[in-house]
Chains A and B, each alone.
Chain A
Amino acid sequence: MQRRCVLVEICPSQMRAALVVRGRVVASRSVGHWLPDWKESWPKGLVSLAPALRTMLSELGADGLPATIFYAAPHGAAGVYSCPASAGARGAESAARLALADASEFAPEANPTMIFRLAVDHGPRAEGAEGPQIHTLAATDSEAGVRAVTELGTECGLDVRAVAPADTVALASTVRAVLAASKGPGAAVALRIGSWGTVLAAAAGGRLRFVRQISVGTASLVSALTGEVRSTDGAPAPRALDRERAGSLLARSGIPARGSVFDAESGLGADAVLPLMQPVLQRWIVEVRQSLRFGLTEPERAGAHMVPMGPGSQVPNLARLIADQLGLTVAEPDSTPAGPPLGGGSIEDHAAGILGDAELLVPSERAEGRRLATIRRGMWIGIGAACALGAVDGVSAWFELAGARAQQERVKASLADAARVVDIGRSLGDREAAVRASRQKLVGWMSPRARWDALLAVLGRETPASIRLSRVEMRFEGRQPECSIRGHAAASPGSDATASLKSYMEGLSASPIVQKCTLGSARRMQDGDSGRTEFEVVITLVGLPADLDQAMAPLAENRR
């Protein structure tokens, strides 16, 4: 609740403004009026109330303060709707919405609506009674009506936060009172008598049994008193009572006893006014009796006591008359001085009981503005949270970076000492790799190698005297070492040249360094008396791998 706020109450007969500071009414102003065409002129007729409201607010010094306005809503609907507690809070809310839709003249979902969980039964279950129930206060009014009331307050300089039908206050305070009274022995019946209506509630054992609104109030009695008053002998009274005088007489004399004087000043006796009051009182009693008959069991009715509430409870003999007719005992009447229709419960009760908990009616634009504000606030909170998270992440990264750099510096410092060692290690790797690469390159170049010297030795050993070599060519054909030899074989006594050549080639082939020996060409020649065979033989040698260590060994020996 706001530290300083204003409560305004508007009804056809009166308007009241109260300044509330820290939940307590510190000052109030009220002005009476009579607007019989309240319903017909709604909501345009509200404009006529602006000057009086502005004056009251000015006197209270309440300009610009947050305000909540309670008003008699001629087209609105309000009620307390009960639902089994097993349905849960959402189920009870849905049930209340459905019931409200039935009770109102328009669709609540398209107009300002308030749903407020008023009470939940906690007491022991009575025999034959229903299980615990959730009692939901629901109210709605047309968008036009809510906007008109809000605009009235705004034009008068108030910061109107919410509005609510006055019935909601009456219902809420009655239910709370009857539940509080029912905790004692016996059933409790709360009768809140207002100017324009009555709220009847009954409870037993801490469980609310029913709540009902009756469209009879003290204004009905006042209206009745303004009718034609006849003297006891049936002759018309000198003059009829006006509404203001009738109201003040009712407040002072209440329901008079037969034979007593109702108005000593005019000499009006009880016998003259009681017939006027009788239909209203009769209706009151009948409505209450019927409600109690259907709402309470016989044993509960027998021990029930009535709690009179509201401004009507201050009318002398009124509550007692009703209680006596119903056979109920009467608890101490509400001690609150007679006030506006809200009265009975103090306006502090309203502030604490209604304003502190319930979401009241607000025009759709304002509701939308609130939703937007909520969304915007959530959005900025989200953005703020995102910024905060980003900042935390950034700071965390900054610290981690600083730590990593410090550790890097430490490792670098230790590496500086070990740099020479690392260089040696690298140098070793590089040198070994280079030597390996060099050896591979040399092996590639020098392989295969041929033992030409050994071939010469073989040729020297295997070549017989009958064979003379004219040319020897040793070379590589591709990567294959070959030797081409040319010569001639002379025929000798006992053997011909061909046999000598064959034998020669077999001898060459037997050498381990010779892979194969092929005859390239052979031609018999006549040389004087003797013949000879000229030939060309190709010897393919075994290719040997290069032996680098052998190549380097003599040099190493020389070094040594």
Chain B
Amino acid sequence: MNRIIYIILAVLLLFTACKELDVTRFDEDAKVYFYNYRYRVRGDTLTQQDSSSQSFFNVLGNQNTDTVWVYVFAMGNTESFDRPFGIKQINTDSTYAAVPKTHYVPFDDEYVSRFIRIPANQSHTAIPIILIRDETLLLNEYRLEMSLIDNEYFEVAMDTLARFVVKTADFGTKPDIWDAEWKTFFGDWGSEKMRFLRDYVVGSGFNWEERPIYGTGTYYKTKANSELEKYNASLPDGEVLTEPTGTIVTFPTR
């Protein structure tokens, strides 16, 4: 008897588990979302990113702005006219929040606002986040946390894809592929080591997120050792290049 009751209960549970799924359809109301599938490492699988890091460390010294492009896609049918969408900074009260006009060009700027819209007959656009080189970036990383917001043309599509963060700084940050790729040639990462490599080995604008060809990595390793030897010899009283932590900067010698 019990067995029959259990079976009936299980069948009832089966029905309870089934409910109508609320699927977001692309041909319904106009909605917007951040779409930033990128290669974290070139050659790897594309993955959706919810943030992007930028550093003026790797930007030529006489260049005072740097632009990060953030992609926004629209759902629903296209229209024959431009459709602005809503966007705003949401971390203005936080410590190290990016400050408009100090760390980035605000969204209501005449130039930038031209891009805060889905163009006529299109379903996506890219917003220029124009970052400004400010001396406060030498000390700390600042964050611009932004969110899409509803307006008369678009609703926000999905909470998970409604927010995006751009981080900016002016010091060397550890590349994502350092341990997997660059450590072979340069050893453990350090900010002073990074600065030295930029200034004496690889130059500004170097793409640290690109996997090196082994032969090229060997060339950089040889050059790094050679240049470091010269650099240390130029320092007074037997000083050597050190990290802020006191660790002496060295490169693999074999």
Partners in one complex: no
A residues neighboring B (CB under 8 Å): none
B contact set with A: CB distance below 8 Å: none
